[in-house]
């Protein structure tokens, strides 16, 4: 059994709790330390009980509170060495940091974690597959396109947290400056609803996937119900679809 609570997701900050009966971890710490603690307490959790925090990449909306979290709550930060180097404006050497390589399989308490390389315009960028007993949860946000590798590694996931960042028409008809539109839409930018829907459909058909949480939705270039309908309409199988919010934690989701 795995339990997942998205504390918040979007360009204003990302943090997600995943746990089984014995071990609790956080993926990303993109809010202030105080905000992470507040949101965890809101759902009845204590950051002192975190086994570790996995870091996907060095962008501010993913590491803002990582240093404070590590120091205040004695939480180890797990990241790729390139993430640490690129995040040196945040990491000052006083944190507990452990490095991993891409596709490394790590034991964290009772959880098994595999790091998954993703395409994004950061020094390096990581997705994760988290397993406990026979259950697994995938985590893929901040990627401009999905790779065959992403598919192969997520094929066993029962549940997936998946970026559905923007609607391409809303992006290109919106108010972002041209260079920013091009960046978001590029192979190393963010994933559109349609591309997300396509990947989810593939996993539902050829893999084990039974549920998704759409995450990192743009507040300017997307609409939650539009994202939900694009993903839902593309599915040929029954799939539970949840939407992550920026402003408050999700309800706990149990994956069995």
Q: Which residues bind Zn ion (CB under 5 A)?
A: 59, 61, 142
Cβ proximity of 30 and 236 under 8 Å? no
Cβ proximity to Zn ion: between 29 and 255 the closer is 29
Q: Which is nearer to Zn ion, 142 or 185 (CB)?
A: 142
Annotate 173-190 with three-state secondary structure: HCCCCHHHHHHHHCCCCC
Strands (E), 118-163: 126-132, 135-140, 159-163
Pairing relationship of beta strands 105-108 and 111-117 according to DSSP bridges: antiparallel
Alpha helix (H) ranges present in 186-240?
193-206, 224-234
With respect to Zn ion, which residue has the nearer C-beta, 7 or 255?
7
Q: Output the smallest distance, CB 123 to Zn ion, in A.
A: 11
Task: State in angstroms the smallest separation of the CB of 120 from Zn ion.
Answer: 6
For the CB of residue 222, give the shortest distance to Zn ion in the complex, in Å. Answer: 14
Q: For Zn ion, which residue has the nearest CB? A: 59
Q: How far apart are CA 34 and CA 10, in angstroms?
A: 18
In the complex with Zn ion, the residue whose CB is nearer, 19 or 57, is: 57
Least distance from C-beta 122 to Zn ion, angstroms? 6
């Amino acid at each position: 059994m795995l339990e997942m609570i998205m504390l918040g997701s979007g360009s204003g900050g990302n943090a997600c709790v995943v746990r089984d009966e014995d071990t609790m971890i956080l993926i990303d710490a993109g809010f202030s330390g105080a905000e992470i603690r507040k949101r965890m307490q809101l759902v009845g959790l204590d950051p002192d009980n975190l086994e570790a925090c996995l870091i996907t990449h060095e962008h501010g909306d993913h590491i803002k509170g990582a240093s404070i979290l590590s120091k205040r709550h004695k939480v180890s930060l797990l990241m790729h060495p390139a993430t640490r180097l690129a995040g040196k404006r945040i990491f000052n050497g006083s944190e507990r940091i452990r490095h991993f390589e891409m596709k490394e399989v790590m034991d964290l308490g009772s959880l098994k974690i595999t790091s998954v390389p993703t395409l994004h315009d950061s020094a390096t960028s990581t997705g994760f597959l988290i397993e406990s007993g026979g259950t697994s949860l995938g985590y893929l946000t901040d990627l401009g396109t999905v790779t065959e590798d992403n598919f192969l590694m997520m094929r066993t996931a029962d549940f997936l947290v998946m970026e559905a960042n923007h609607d391409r028409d809303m992006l290109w008809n919106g108010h972002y400056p041209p260079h920013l539109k091009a960046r978001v839409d590029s192979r190393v930018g963010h994933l559109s609803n349609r591309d997300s829907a396509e990947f989810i459909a593939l996993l539902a058909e050829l893999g084990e996937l039974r549920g998704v949480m759409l995450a990192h939705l743009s507040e300017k270039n997307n609409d939650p119900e539009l994202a939900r309908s694009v993903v839902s309409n593309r599915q040929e199988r029954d799939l539970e679809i949840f939407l992550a919010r920026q402003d408050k934690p999700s309800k706990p989701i149990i994956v069995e």
